[in-house]
Amino acid sequence: MISRIGGSVVASLNAGEALKSWRERLSIKQVELAKVMSISPSVLSDYESGRRPSPGVAFVKRYAEALIKMDANRGNLLGKIMEPTEDSAILDIGEFQQPISAAEVVKMVDGKVLSGEAYLDSSIYGYTVLDSIRTIYSLSGFSFYRIFGATTERVLAFTKVGIGRSPLVAIRVSQFKPRMVVLHGPSHVDQLAIDLAERERIVLALSSVQREDVFVKLFRKLIPG
């Protein structure tokens, strides 16, 4: 688990945000974590907010060890979050070496913006491609947090979408929200889905790429190697 947490932080372009996302997933207060790490809450806050330079490997290791120690005394939520599923809803997931704008994602997927035009300049740091049907059945509760990878500043791309309502409802009730959502499959999107995206200030786009396999592979092309 240390390598999983540490790896996601090191790979992220926003290390502070990645650190904070792990702590918030486990509902651990900043002051409590700082006490276990034997540092002041202000120092921890500076790292998570980016006011201090990116944390070194030693700090990230201490951070991960403290999270795991505290989590073990609270019911081992990390185990539930990381537990693999046989019928995974996640088709692909990755973090970009350099952020791209939401507008660039829209262009890449040949998309039509349905909401959030004011946020098209937002930086996207990663992506998760999901089978929307499997997401409904296999990703709930803590397991839903897996889709956010190292940061919530990412695009969630859903395949096999009906009218778009289910993915947005799931996001609405989740503690974490993506910066952007791309839907693939429907000819039109339900107004409720659009309204929910507007309320959550999420960029919502509908892809016109015809083939699902082509759509899934688009995001992988943005990661070298």
Indicate the domain borders of the chain. Answer: 2-81, 90-220
Query: For helices 15-25 and 41-49, what crossing angle results, to 10°?
Result: 120
Q: Using the 8-state DSSP alphabet, how is residue 135 labeled?
A: H
Class of domain 2-81: mainly alpha
pLDDT for the residue numbered 175: 76
Say if pTM beats, i.e. exceeds, 0.75.
no
**80 vs 165, higher pLDDT:** 165
Tokens 């290791």 correspond to 61
Looking at domain 90-220, its CATH superfamily turns out to be: HprK N-terminal domain-like (3.40.1390.20)
Average pLDDT over residues 24-46: 93
Q: Which residues contact 221 (CB under 8 A, 6 or more apart)?
A: none
pLDDT for the residue numbered 74: 82
Q: Using the 8-state DSSP alphabet, how is residue 21 labeled?
A: H
pLDDT band at 139 (very low <50, low <70, confident <90, very high): low
Instruction: Answer yes or no: are the C-beta atoms of 89 and 138 closer than 8 Å.
Output: yes
| Segment 76-124, tens digit of pLDDT | 767 665 555 444 788 998 888 788 999 999 999 999 999 999 999 999 9
**55 vs 87, higher pLDDT:** 55
pLDDT for the residue numbered 143: 60
